[in-house]
Amino acid sequence: MKHIITLTVLLFTCLLGFSQEEEEDKAKQKAIKSSNNYTWEGNKNLDQNKFAEAEADYRKAISKNGENSNASYNLGNAYYTNETYSEAFGRFKQAGEKATSKPEKHKAYHNMGNVFMKRKEYEKAVEAYKQALRNNPTDEETRYNLALAKELLKKQQEEDEKNQDKNQDDKNQDQKDKDKEDKKEDNKDQDKENQKNQKDKGDEGDQKDQKDKEDNKEGNGDKKKEEEKQPKDKEGDKPQEQQPQPRPNQLSKQQIQNLLEAMQNEEKKVQDKIDAKKVKGVKVKNEKDW
């Protein structure tokens, strides 16, 4: 009896499990169908240039079925057409990751390359086109785009090298200009220092000259005061010649002159006496001495 009950339970469980899987499968199929319908509506609105409506339909399609790579790819095309390249790249990348077939992957990587071309990111574009060709080596459009991306990448690298050289030259020139300007500033500072030193020397010289002038003025003032103290003659402002003063125990010039005159007078008196005596002693002849 127990075995019968156990088998009944197991059978019921299996039937219940099958029923749940069937329900889940039906729900999944319903979601896929709904997602595809939204994708179809989005395509129709996009053809009619109704971007907002198309974007809403594609988003609903993706929300119903995250594996719907076509909805992601078409939404990426809508953003690309609207020149919203960052959003477009994200949707193309999503489509490439969700795609289960090589043709779908090829289209996703091809359009990712187109986004990089618009951004002028040629190195990334080359890699995207290469990935697209791995999934479809016969696509001539992708091959052409790859060759174009390589050519543009080469020119870009050459231009970058030229700009780098130019920037280096500009940097060197800027450094030279800076060194020249620094040298010029140093020369200015040196000139200012020299001028300051010259000014200081000049000020010292001026101060010395001023001091000499003041000393001379002072000396002249003292001299003038001294001259003012000296007596002046009646006829002019010239001071009288100072008479030499007799020294102690010595005769003055006038005294000597008086003595000389006195001596001369005495000598004359003596001579006159002698002459008088001579006259008395000589006979006077009144007649000729024949």
DSSP the chain: -HHHHHHHHHHHHHHHHHHHHHHHHHHHHHHHHHHHHHHHHHHHHHHTT-HHHHHHHHHHHHHH-TT-HHHHHHHHHHHHHTT-HHHHHHHHHHHHHH--SHHHHHHHHHHHHHHHHHHT-HHHHHHHHHHHHHH-TT-HHHHHHHHHHHHHHHHHHHHHHHHHHHHHHHHHHHHHHHHHHHHHHHHHHHHHHHHHHHHHHHHHHHHHHHHHHHHHHHHHHHHHHHHHHS-B-SSSSSBPPPPPPPPTTS--HHHHHHHHHHHHHHHHHHHHHHHHHHHHTSPPP-S---
As a whole number, the mean pLDDT across the chain is 79
Residue 202: what pLDDT? 64
The pTM of the whole model exceeds 0.75 = no
Residue 90: what pLDDT? 96
pLDDT digits (tens, 9 = 90+) for 3-45: 566 656 555 565 555 567 778 888 889 999 999 999 999 999 9
pLDDT digits (tens, 9 = 90+) for 150-183: 999 999 999 999 988 888 888 888 888 888 888 8
Which residue stretches of the chain have pLDDT < 50?
231-249, 279-290
